[in-house]
């Protein structure tokens, strides 16, 4: 079964735009769990423009499903993760001023750094995942970092889905099979939505988790949050 982890960054963005605590990020996360999500993802950035570091501590205390904290493993981020001890830490090579993640790791070039970072996380019993492009070579070198999982960066799939979905999915199927053969768990995320998720989940082998935030929150504006979470769950065959 592929789990749905909902990224709540956009809910925090809305809160921060006005100040105060509306919408309440913790209550939203608990409601999203109650509506059927099997995980909550947050991606704190150094400027805390959406999720704040303090949110991570509150979420860890209260949510009942898996907490996934993703981000660039700079010192500040690692300190947070090692203190909070989420179920999963996803390492993403995004620049401090990035609007959103836009590339996976070069796992060959950064292998030593990733090995050292992952070792620290594993000492705390944190499951690790690293954000990678759908490239079999990057998957192979990811295995040598010691990570438990990889997360496939799916922007290119989403961008090309309506043009030719068979072509768009091909490299992800290959990367997924490579991960499976190497014994790596497989996650995926970025621009997956109600239109393209079902086909991706059906074609990519042994997909453990998808992380979806922006599209899901946008859909919820029209469809309602509870209904939207259930719709994404149904696309995953649940």
- Which residues are part of the catalytic machinery? 43, 70, 190
Helix crossing, 75-84 with 111-123: angle to 10°?
30
Report the distance separating Cα 156 and Cα 190, nearest Å: 9
Q: Measured between alpha carbons, how far is 145 from 32 in angstroms, rounded to an integer?
A: 33
CA 207 to CA 198: how far, in whole Å? 12
Bridge-based pairing of strands 3-7 and 127-132 is unpaired
> Cβ distance 209 to 3 under 8 Å?
yes
Residue 34 CA to residue 60 CA, distance in Å, equals: 16
């Amino acid at each position: 079964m592929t789990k749905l982890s909902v990224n709540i960054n956009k809910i925090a963005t809305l809160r921060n735009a006005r100040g105060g605590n509306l919408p309440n990020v913790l209550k939203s996360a608990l409601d999203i769990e109650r509506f059927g999500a099997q995980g909550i993802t947050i991606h704190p950035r150094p400027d805390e423009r959406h999720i704040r570091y303090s949110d991570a501590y509150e979420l860890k205390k209260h949510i009942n499903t898996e907490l996934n904290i993703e981000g660039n493993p700079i010192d500040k981020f690692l300190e947070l993760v090692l203190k909070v001890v989420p179920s999963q830490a996803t390492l993403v090579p995004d620049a401090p001023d990035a609007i959103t993640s836009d590339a996976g790791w070069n796992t060959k070039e950064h292998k030593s750094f990733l090995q050292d970072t992952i070792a620290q996380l594993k000492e705390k019993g944190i499951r690790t995942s690293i954000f990678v492009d759908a490239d079999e070579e990057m998957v192979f070198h990811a295995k040598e970092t010691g990570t438990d999982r990889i997360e496939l960066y799916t922007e290119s799939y989403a961008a090309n889905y309506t043009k030719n979905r068979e072509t768009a999915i091909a490299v992800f199927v290959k990367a997924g099979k490579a991960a499976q053969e190497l014994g790596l768990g497989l996650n995926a995320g970025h621009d997956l939505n109600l239109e393209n998720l079902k086909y991706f989940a059906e074609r990519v082998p042994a997909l453990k988790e998808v992380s979806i935030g922006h599209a899901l929150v946008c859909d919820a504006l029209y469809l309602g949050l509870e209904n939207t979470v259930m719709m994404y769950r149904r696309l995953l065959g649940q």
